[in-house]
Amino acid sequence: MKSPIANSTSNAIKGFALVVILIGILAAVPSLSGAHAPAATSITVVNNSSREIRHLYLSPVNQDNWGPDQLGGSIIGSGGGSYTLSNVACSQSSIKVIAEDQNGCFLYQTVSCGGSATWTITNDATPDCGN
């Protein structure tokens, strides 16, 4: 017959081993899934052109599925107006920013994620007017 002390010690060791294994599994799950928290990015759009920017959209770089208008009815005025988007979630290394002017023409810029980015729009930028 086993002594009660030996049986209790054996159960404690088994319980401790089980806890260590569970902690190891839980620690490995995020790295196995490849899940990464999206990078938070701040994007400032500076409009040094003669066009008013009426809409601002975001999209993954390799897609044309634009999200909702980020300006929410605001306008980025010509000649130095600016607008900052804070805490933009990026699931990739970069994001596409699309500006639409008062004529319905579009300008595009890709910015890096994970920090702060500034896009300065000038009159030298060639808009996409669907022509």
Tokens found for residue 106 = 């579009």
pLDDT at 14 over 50: yes
Could you report the per-residue pLDDT of 78-121, keeping only the tens digit for each?
A: 999 999 999 998 888 999 999 999 999 999 999 999 889 999 99
Intra-chain end-to-end CA distance of the chain, in Å:
92
Enclosing H/E stretch for 59: strand 53-60
Q: Measuring CA to CA, how many Å separate 20 from each of 24, 26, 28, 29, 32?
A: 6, 10, 12, 15, 18
Other CB atoms closer than 10 Å to residue 127's CB: what's the count?
Answer: 18
Question: One-letter amino acid identity for 75?
Answer: I
Contacts of 84 (CB under 8 A, 6+ apart): 42, 43, 44, 45
Residue 127: the pLDDT is 95
pTM confidence score:
0.69
Contact (Cβ atoms closer than 8 angstroms) between residue 38 and residue 90: yes
Residue 82: the pLDDT is 98
Tokens found for residue 17 = 């081993």
